Structure 1
Amino acid sequence: MTASTDPRAAVARITATLTGPGGPFETTVEEVLGAPLTVVRNRHRALSELLDASAAWADRDYLVTADRRLSFTEHATAASALAAALARDHGVGKGDRIGILAANTPEWVVTFWAAQCLGAIAVGYNAWWTPREIGYGLEHTTPKVVIADAKRTALLRDSGFDGPVLTMERDVPDLIAAHTGAHPRTPVAEDDPAVVLYTSGTSGRPKGVVHSHRNLLAVTDYHRFTDALSATMRGREFSEPSDKRYLLTSPLFHIASLHNLVVPRLRTGAAVVMHQGSFAVDRVLRLVEGERVTNWGAVPTMAARILEHDLSGYDLSSLAALSLNAAPSSPAFQQRLRERLPVAEVGLTTSYGLTESGTAATVATPAELSAYPETVGRPILGVEVEIRDVTGAALPDGAEGEICVRSPYVMLGYWNDEAATAAAIDGERWLRTGDFGTLADGRLHLSGRRSDLILRGGENVYPIEIENALDEHAAVVESAVLGVPHEDLGQEVAAVVVVDEADAVTPEQLRAFVAERLAYFKVPSHWVITTEPLPRNATGKVVRREIQL
């Protein structure tokens, strides 16, 4: 294949032009937190700068729901006004935490940007948490104020939180109206924390992943770079604002929606079309049709439910790109998508990343995914990937080991947890993902997610958190939680519970017990109650592969 017809060679040439000296995304190596990282030379240094720059997009749609529209101007005005109210009425300043506990709403986004105006740290709590889990998150990050929707405001009362709570339905609009015209801005450094999002940890407690202004701004520049690369590959001139319209279906307390959708679109001028409520195929497809959505990043579970639906009654011709995120997808499933969804024939991609990495570490293009359906792609701009052995030594091509990632997107660390941060990030800013795979010809293949991780419908479920909850039950001697295959969700949660007496407790009782303590997606749907002890090795560790379900 000649250079003129080789897509990879063309991508390399265009990338060199875009990122080389004088290019719009010129890169350089700078020391970041003590390590050399590849960064974009001409970049914003604070998220509030993006908010101010978004005024250029004026009356274009920024946030769209089934019944509301918020332009870039309206959004910037609202975020600044809310920031002023939080500073005046609640004393919120630089470094203070602003808790956000809500389902997807425009006010969620406005609150995030209000925090950035003040140099405060937005904390996105999981909206599916129970009062017990909410209480832990509030105690962990100690927000100065919490902004919540009506449903979660009621849950906050049961969590023990005694700080100020503002409702999105009433308080936020009133505060914005009272402070419209204000324009507070607090200077920050690039590596100051901007946001905390929670991910379950193997210690059994959720960990707060801290991302900096640098992290989110770098993610934004990466997305702009991909727009420029795509335009140039098609023989078009790269320009902004973008006419793309992105469908948001994942929660805003995930990096897929916040870091990789809401934040970059403020810079590119594209619209975010926000689905609200539980995932309902007809409502989602009508939103795609009515708003002429062009891009959708979906978890495989959502895409699978689309395939179960009769698609003949919908005009999905506007869809130009579909990415599968958050969980692995099989080659067979990818092929079913291509057969049913026209966009999947030419625009299906997948990626690999985790909350700690800030964005995808690797992405598989449509052509590469079609040719190598089991790959999760190649490292993206600015990302270094190594496969390492147990000693931390880099392994050669094709050898299996732990996936390690370094980039300007990688988190600062875990909130208030120096030990966990040190275990995850070494002195040269390499992130140990805990996932295992191989690199071959530059392409990453996963050989296993974290050893015990359960991926249920795009949500990470760690067994030890559920086991710890079960251990609180008086009848439970010990337990082990595992994932079992599920056609729709990918995996479901199963629990093997050891008791002294076979009739000491029922699955229904255990299910209710766990449901009081953990979010619904962590509650096991399959139960085995036994008097036989769990299999263990010589060091006393449970041997999960020998557990019988």
Structure 2
Amino acid sequence: MTTTHDPMAAYARLVGPGGPFEMVEDDVLGTRMPVYRNRAHALHEVLADSVQYADRTYVATADDRVTFAEHASRVSSLAKALTDEYGVKKGDRVVISAANTIEWIESFWAVVSLGAVAVAFNAWWSDREVEHGLGLTEPVLAIADAKRVDALKQHGLPVLTVEDDVPTLRAAHPDAPLPSADVAEDDPAVLIFTSGTSGHPKGATHSHRNLLAVVEYHRMNDALLAAFGDPTDPRDRAYLLVSPLFHIASLHNLALPRLATGSKVVLHLGAFDVERIYALIEKERVTNWGAVPTMASRMLDADIADKFDLSSLTSFSLASAPSSLALKQRLRENLPFATALVDSYGLTETCTGVSAATPADQAEVPGTVGRATYGVQLEIRDPLGNALGPGVEGEVCVRSCYNMVGYWRNDEATSDTIREDRWLHTGDLGEIDEQGRLRLSSRRSDLIIRGGENVYPVEVENVLTEHPDVVECLVYGVAHEDLGQEVAVVVVHGETEPSVDDLTAFLKRELAYYKVPAHWRLTSAPLARNATGKVKRSAVLAED
């Protein structure tokens, strides 16, 4: 007798009534919305469950590795030290400011399992940005690597070093119990910073509910692969982590869910280097990788893929920044692991992808970022907040249990972004077709995305106008083949014309390096303005 495998029926069993990933309506911060029925309620539950994977590898680097059992023991010891020796308690903020390391991940789990809030500082921040982050979050402690310790200590904050203190403390209490805390689902767990639309980075506040919903989403994806015929045990997958851990792509959507699924995280250390990364893929038999377009472009330029055994890499996706159709086609034609390329769209504020486009979606509708992620309600709205029909352009608005709680201690920005019934207004423009596929027509107003990092012009402008010779300025993005975009600026100066070198050095002292303009135009002529006094960007940029 012949049986027919029906993937859609299997999908219905997973998400339908009584299924393991069924969603039901519940109250989330005063609004009814879909949540996973079978969910954990605090992040320490994920840590406790992870011990079942025992001697399997949780994190591997080129020279080191830690098993799930070792990780749980280390985190428990570190958590006990944080509590007993440094007084960290529920609700306290603990800064993590470091390049990617195993210790970064262990510190994160120790902090959130205690019910404290992990504050993920951008490791490229200037002293000015660090000072703002500390003032905003008022942490009780920081964990930092050697390169960033001094920037934190000068503000009188106790600092544990990644290189010495964390390894000592994670071994100090080998018999410590697994940490836990009595937290509510919507209590804050992590602060991830976004570039400031109003001049300062904002702390997107992600709750235990948000992060655990992301965990369930990834567990569901693993179950879907099995339902659609993939024979691979999720525990046998290996996920390459290259982007910084202070981004949701690496922390929320890789390091975190893989502790729940028993999969291996392959952690690349140091600057992006194609040859070292290919060697790591070969050595650790990496199966999955989500790269930013700049990384993909550099892989094409290196043209060394045929020197390595990359056959294990069967899932490759682009994320974190827009990518051109031409780049995607070059990837498919030149990199064997990119033939079934997946694209997606998401924001720091949404914790995970808003939508994803399968290879079939992209073949049928080039440029689409796909259909809404499971559990995401997606609408296109006009300026009055009315939902628009298929094929009509408007603002992309989303609602889900993944969406952030709000911006830390910034009620004005929160109310501007999260509005009635907790609909999050992205500021991006797009349209949805008859099949529910999203196409973006422009990203957030004037946003520059350089190598996967967001740069808001107003933040750079506010700092640059502090220079005594700058009267006003206009910052904007210009296309760049490798980085996607670079930062450019028109500077209006007074009687004294500053040098580009002087202005560049001034900004480098105040801002992360990637926010400093690479293209300059200095002039004494005022910027063109309209009748209400606003700068006419199109007129100014037309002169370049």
Q: 2:172 maps to which residue?
A: 178
The structural deviation recorded for 1:170 is: 0.5
| Corresponding residue SS for 2:385 | coil
The one-letter amino acid paired with 2:369 is: V
The one-letter amino acid paired with 2:513 is: Y
Superimposed CA distance per residue, residues 417-439 of structure 1 (whole angstroms, 9 cap, x where no aligned partner): 11111111013010000111000
The structural deviation recorded for 1:14 is: 3.2
Of the three residues 528, 535, 538, the one matched with 1:542 is: 535
The question of 1:354 aligning with 2:347 is answered yes
Q: 2:210 maps to which residue?
A: 215
Of the three residues 495, 512, 532, the one matched with 2:525 is: 532
Aligned mates of 1:317, 1:506 — CA distance in 2: 51
Aligned 1:488-499 pairs, distance under 5 A: 488-499=482-493
The question of 1:517 aligning with 2:510 is answered yes
Q: 1:199 maps to which residue?
A: 194
Aligned 1:24-35 pairs, distance under 5 A: 24-35=20-31
Aligned mates of 1:349, 1:395 — CA distance in 2: 27
The one-letter amino acid paired with 1:88 is: D
Aligned mates of 2:432, 2:50 — CA distance in 1: 39
The answer to whether the 8 Å contact 2:11/2:227 transfers is no
The structural deviation recorded for 1:24 is: 1.7
The structural deviation recorded for 1:35 is: 1.5
Aligned 1:147-162 pairs, distance under 5 A: 147-157=143-153, 160-162=154-156
Q: 1:447 maps to which residue?
A: 441
The structural deviation recorded for 1:13 is: 3.6
The structural deviation recorded for 1:365 is: 1.0
The question of 1:276 aligning with 2:242 is answered no
The question of 1:143 aligning with 2:139 is answered yes
The structural deviation recorded for 1:541 is: 1.1
The question of 1:436 aligning with 2:467 is answered no
| Corresponding residue SS for 2:472 | strand
The answer to whether the 8 Å contact 2:448/2:477 transfers is yes
Q: 1:504 maps to which residue?
A: 497
The structural deviation recorded for 1:178 is: 1.5
Percent identity of paired positions between Structure 1 and Structure 2 = 57
Of the three residues 55, 73, 78, the one matched with 1:77 is: 73
Aligned mates of 2:126, 2:265 — CA distance in 1: 29
The structural deviation recorded for 1:413 is: 0.3
The one-letter amino acid paired with 1:149 is: D
The answer to whether the 8 Å contact 2:77/2:173 transfers is yes
Of the three residues 293, 303, 307, the one matched with 1:300 is: 293
The answer to whether the 8 Å contact 1:80/1:117 transfers is no
Of the three residues 225, 238, 245, the one matched with 1:252 is: 245
TM norm structure 2:
0.97
The structural deviation recorded for 1:345 is: 1.1
The question of 1:400 aligning with 2:393 is answered yes
| Corresponding residue SS for 1:386 | strand
The question of 1:340 aligning with 2:340 is answered no
The structural deviation recorded for 1:12 is: 4.5
Q: 1:464 maps to which residue?
A: 458
Go from structure 1 to structure 2 and tell me whether the alpha carbon gap of 1:470 and 1:11 turns closer, same or farther (over 3 Å shift). farther
Aligned mates of 1:55, 1:506 — CA distance in 2: 59
The answer to whether the 8 Å contact 2:395/2:427 transfers is yes
Aligned mates of 2:230, 2:306 — CA distance in 1: 33
Aligned mates of 2:236, 2:44 — CA distance in 1: 23
The one-letter amino acid paired with 2:367 is: E
Superimposed CA distance per residue, residues 240-280 of structure 1 (whole angstroms, 9 cap, x where no aligned partner): x5211000010000000000000000000000001111101
Q: 1:44 maps to which residue?
A: 40
The structural deviation recorded for 1:29 is: 1.5
Aligned mates of 1:474, 1:185 — CA distance in 2: 52
Q: Tell me, which stretches of 5 or more residues in structure 1 are unaligned?
A: none
The structural deviation recorded for 1:155 is: 2.8
Superimposed CA distance per residue, residues 126-180 of structure 1 (whole angstroms, 9 cap, x where no aligned partner): 00001111111111101110000111113324xx420210001101111122222
The one-letter amino acid paired with 1:283 is: R
| Corresponding residue SS for 1:296 | strand
| Corresponding residue SS for 1:151 | coil
| Corresponding residue SS for 2:420 | coil
Aligned 1:364-379 pairs, distance under 5 A: 364-379=357-372
Aligned mates of 2:268, 2:208 — CA distance in 1: 27
Kindly report structure 1 stretches of 4+ aligned residues shifted beyond 4 Å.
none
The structural deviation recorded for 1:371 is: 2.3
| Corresponding residue SS for 2:136 | helix
The question of 1:99 aligning with 2:95 is answered yes
Aligned mates of 1:38, 1:11 — CA distance in 2: 24
The structural deviation recorded for 1:407 is: 0.5
Q: 1:114 maps to which residue?
A: 110
Aligned mates of 1:40, 1:150 — CA distance in 2: 41
Q: Tell me, which stretches of 5 or more residues in structure 2 are unaligned?
A: none
| Corresponding residue SS for 1:540 | coil
The answer to whether the 8 Å contact 2:203/2:408 transfers is yes
Q: 1:16 maps to which residue?
A: 12
The structural deviation recorded for 1:404 is: 0.2
Aligned mates of 1:234, 1:35 — CA distance in 2: 37
Aligned mates of 1:37, 1:12 — CA distance in 2: 24
The question of 1:318 aligning with 2:312 is answered yes
Aligned mates of 1:109, 1:137 — CA distance in 2: 20
The structural deviation recorded for 1:11 is: 5.8
The one-letter amino acid paired with 1:67 is: D
Aligned mates of 2:335, 2:13 — CA distance in 1: 34
Superimposed CA distance per residue, residues 447-500 of structure 1 (whole angstroms, 9 cap, x where no aligned partner): 000111001000000001110111100000000000000000000000100012
Superimposed CA distance per residue, residues 111-130 of structure 1 (whole angstroms, 9 cap, x where no aligned partner): 11001221100000000001
Aligned mates of 2:253, 2:192 — CA distance in 1: 14
Work out the number of aligned pairs and report it.
Answer: 536
Q: 1:474 maps to which residue?
A: 468
Go from structure 1 to structure 2 and tell me whether the alpha carbon gap of 1:235 and 1:79 turns closer, same or farther (over 3 Å shift). closer
The answer to whether the 8 Å contact 2:78/2:170 transfers is yes
The answer to whether the 8 Å contact 2:7/2:227 transfers is no
Aligned mates of 2:526, 2:396 — CA distance in 1: 34
Q: 1:224 maps to which residue?
A: 219
Q: 2:229 maps to which residue?
A: 234
The answer to whether the 8 Å contact 2:142/2:152 transfers is no
